[in-house]
A and B are shown apart, each in its own frame.
Chain A
Amino acid sequence: MTDLIKIFVAAFLINNIILMRFIALCSYIGMTSDVGQSVGMGLAVTFVTVMASAVTWPIYYWILKPNGLEFLEILVFIVVIAALVQLVEFYLKKSVPTLYHAMGIYLPLITTNCAILAVTFDQITFNYNFVQSIVFSIAVSLGYLLAMLLLAGVRQRLKNSPIPSFMMDTPILFLTTSIIAVAFMGFAGLIK
């Protein structure tokens, strides 16, 4: 149990996927202009990440590794994830339209979201077992959601700041992220 908590805290805060590892920045910048949007995106990412993690783990350990085909990892993972996302999107659009409008519309963005692929690679690199992988994927994607929410909040305040013109738009967002990351450095070493 403690190892799961450690994995969770480490992936959620200490090695926050956006603030400390620079992964999934495109959607982080693009999707934080509105809090509701960030929540939708964050939840969609959580859903797909967990799903991807649950699917790729058996593929790696039951198909690729026994046959010595680890080098196919990248290709197989990305294709499987892309297909899965598309299937889920088709399914939601037709069968659960309400959910689709809350979350599903973010799905196409997710295929090329680095966070998901990074999680599937990391769980292999870190030698996590299946349960650990799932916990890890939840933690990473919630960390993503957290970072999105923090930026979305600060962005609302920035609307009132007379930011110098050359810092407008993206530069100020990265500067904000930098300062949020400074604050997150405080979590360093929380888990040893």
Chain B
Amino acid sequence: MENKTMKLVLSGAPHFVTGYDIQKTMGMVIIALLPALAGGVYFFGLRALLVTAVSIVSAVAAEFLFRKALRRETHVTDLSAVVTGMLLALILPVSSPLWMAAIGSAFAIIVAKELFGGLGGNFANPALVGRAVLLMSWPAFMTRWSPSLHAAVVDATTTATPLGILKLGGTITDVMKSVGASGKPALYLQMFLGNHSGSIGETSALLLLLGAAFLVVTRVIDLRTPVAMIAATFVASWLFGQDPTFSVLAGGILLGAFFMATDYVTTPVTPIGKWAFGIGAGLMTVLIRQLGNFPEGVTYGILLMNVLVPYLDKIIPRKFGFVKPRKVNA
């Protein structure tokens, strides 16, 4: 009958989809990371760009080759590997050897993501796993900080990050000296602008907030987790007797809160879970900063919460029309 000429298709409703897909989401994240990357190049020189490029290329190549070897469909065009490579580079020191950046992102992609089945199958943030492994493997390279090219003072202490100075027993005053700030407001300004030593992309709060604002406006990320994480860091560091504003501006809190604690795959989907995730990550970060071995705890804070996500996802919000089951009188 007319079937033969027409060849109709049967499918389930709805017969309509939005044009918004994974590639576009990842594209948004990449755009949002560009200011921070640009900041890294400005503060630490062109080598920052080189490290990032190597990391991205290695991540994409690792994903492509691994999936080819497994004879699976390659999905590099969804840009998720680019995001992983970029995020990893942004949390490395600018002086990282290029081979280390390459190993780190290949490791992140293959071990933390592809062996679990690729994007969506992993339970821990690949970039953070990559960084944690690099930190374990080559702590010397991973803690060799370069001063900002535009730092007001250049002396020996500037090679430590602000948090590093505190960890080595220094005080806020020492930090001020290291960035050439005369008082707390000046220190905050320097920290906010990002004119101090640190990982490539983590130093400038301003540029990170710019990117984050873009993601919030385009509804790519949910504000719950970052707000909870930053607030938890603020309160906890205040309780520990630290300068809370400084604690939030220093280190990777902002980068972690807006770009890693909001990673879709490895964070909770439930609203309460998101709050809990942020608070937990913030608390763990401060705990590690204060008591642990490392000057910075964002990586581990978020990774530890990643592991808890399956439980956080069990806190399901109220359904439409949900009525509390009435107790049956015995």
Is chain B's binding surface mostly helix, strand, loop or mixed? helix
8 Å CB contacts to B: which residues of A139-162?
A: 149-150, 153-154, 156-158, 160-162
Could you say which residues of chain B place their CB within 8 Å of the CB of A175? 111, 115-116
Rounded to whole angstroms, the CA-CA distance of A172 and B115 in the bound complex is: 8
Is B11 located at the chain interface by the 8 A CB criterion? no
Report B-chain residues with C-beta under 8 Å of the C-beta of A149: 311
A186/B123 in contact, CB under 8 A: no
Query: Taking the complex as formed, is B294 at the interface, i.e. its CB lies under 8 A from any CB of chain A?
Result: yes
**Is the Cβ of A162 less than 8 Å from the Cβ of B117?**
yes
Given known contacts A175-B115, A182-B133, A183-B132, A153 and B293 CB-to-CB distance under 8 angstroms: no
B35 at the interface (CB under 8 A from A): no
Restricting to A156-192, which residues have a CB under 8 Å from any CB of B?
Answer: 156-158, 160-164, 167, 172, 175-176, 178-180, 182-191
Write out the residue numbers on chain A whose beta carbons fall within 8 Å of the beta carbon of B297: 186
Residue contact B293 to A179, C-beta cutoff 8 Å: no
Cβ-defined contact, A186 with B116, below 8 A? no
Q: How far is the CA of A156 from the CA of B310 in the complex (A)?
A: 7
**Which stretch in B147-155, B224-232, B245-253, B301-309 binds the other chain?**
B301-309
Rounded to whole Å, the gap between the CB of B277 and the closest CB of chain A is 14
Q: Which residue from B118, B287, B306, B308 sits with its C-beta under 8 Å from A190?
A: B287
Beta-carbon contact of A161 and B136 below 8 Å = no
CB-based contact A172/B116 at 8 Å: yes
| Whole-angstrom CA separation of A179 from B115 in the bound complex | 12
Q: Which residues of A contact B183 (CB under 8 A)?
A: none
Q: Is residue B121 within 8 Å, beta carbon to beta carbon, of the partner chain?
A: yes
Interface: B102 (CB within 8 A): no
Docked complex Cα distance between A167 and B124 (Å): 17
Closest residue of B by beta carbon distance from A151: B307
Chain A CB within 8 A of B233 CB = no
Sorted nearest first, the 4 A-B pairs with minimum C-beta distance are: A186-B300, A189-B293, A161-B121, A153-B310
The residue of chain B having its C-beta at the shortest distance from the C-beta of A191 within the complex is B291
By a CB distance below 8 angstroms, the chain A residues around B288 are 186-187, 190
Q: Which residues of chain A are near B304, meaning CB under 8 Å?
A: 183-184, 186
**Shortest distance between the CB of A176 and any CB in chain B (Å):** 7
CB distance A161 to B120 under 8 Å?
A: yes
Task: Give the complex CA separation of A160 and B313 in angstroms.
Answer: 14
Instruction: Decide: A163 and B124 in contact? CB cutoff 8 A.
Output: no
Chain B residues within CB distance 8 Å of chain A: 70, 72, 111-112, 114-118, 120-124, 129, 132-133, 136, 284, 287-288, 291-294, 297, 299-301, 303-304, 306-311
Interface size class of A (residues with CB under 8 A): 20 to 34
List 12 contacting pairs A-B, 8 Å CB cutoff, sorted by A. Answer: A150-B308, A153-B308, A153-B309, A154-B307, A156-B310, A172-B116, A176-B123, A178-B111, A179-B111, A182-B132, A183-B304, A190-B287
Cβ-defined contact, B121 with A186, below 8 A? no
- Chain A residues engaging chain B, CB cutoff 8 angstroms: 149-150, 153-154, 156-158, 160-164, 167, 172, 175-176, 178-180, 182-191
Q: Which residues of A contact B124 (CB under 8 A)?
A: 179, 182-183
Do B300 and A183 touch across chains, with their CB atoms under 8 A apart? yes
A26 to B112 CA separation, bound complex (whole angstroms): 23
Asked whether A163 lies within 8 Å of B115 as measured between CB atoms, the reply is yes
Most-contacted residue by chain B among A176, A183, A184 (CB, 10 A): A183
- Neighbour of A186 across the interface among B114, B120, B294, CB < 8 A: B294
Using Cβ atoms and an 8 Å threshold, which residues of chain B touch A191? 291
Residue of B nearest to A152 (CB): B310
Q: Which residues on the B side are within 8 Å of A153 (C-beta)?
A: 307-311
Contacts of B310 in A (CB 8 A): 153-154, 156-157
With a cutoff of 8 Å between Cβ atoms, the chain B residues found around residue A184 in the complex are: 304
Given contacts A158-B116, A158-B123, A186-B304, 8 further A-B contacts (CB under 8 A): A154-B310, A179-B129, A179-B303, A182-B132, A183-B300, A183-B303, A188-B292, A188-B294
Given A150-B308, A179-B124, A183-B124 in contact, is the A161-B292 Cβ separation under 8 Å? Answer: no
CB neighbours of B121 from chain A (8 A): 158, 160-163
Q: Which residues of B contact A176 (CB under 8 A)?
A: 123
Contact B115 A164 (CB under 8 A): yes
Closest CB-CB distance, A165 to chain B, in whole Å? 9
By beta carbon, the residue of chain A nearest B297 is A186
In the complex, the answer to whether A185 meets B307 with C-beta atoms within 8 Å is no
Bound-state CA distance A81–B119 (Å) is 47
Contacts of B133 in A (CB 8 A): 182
* Cβ–Cβ < 8 Å partners of A163 in chain B: 115-117, 121
The chain B residue sitting closest to A192, CB to CB, is: B291
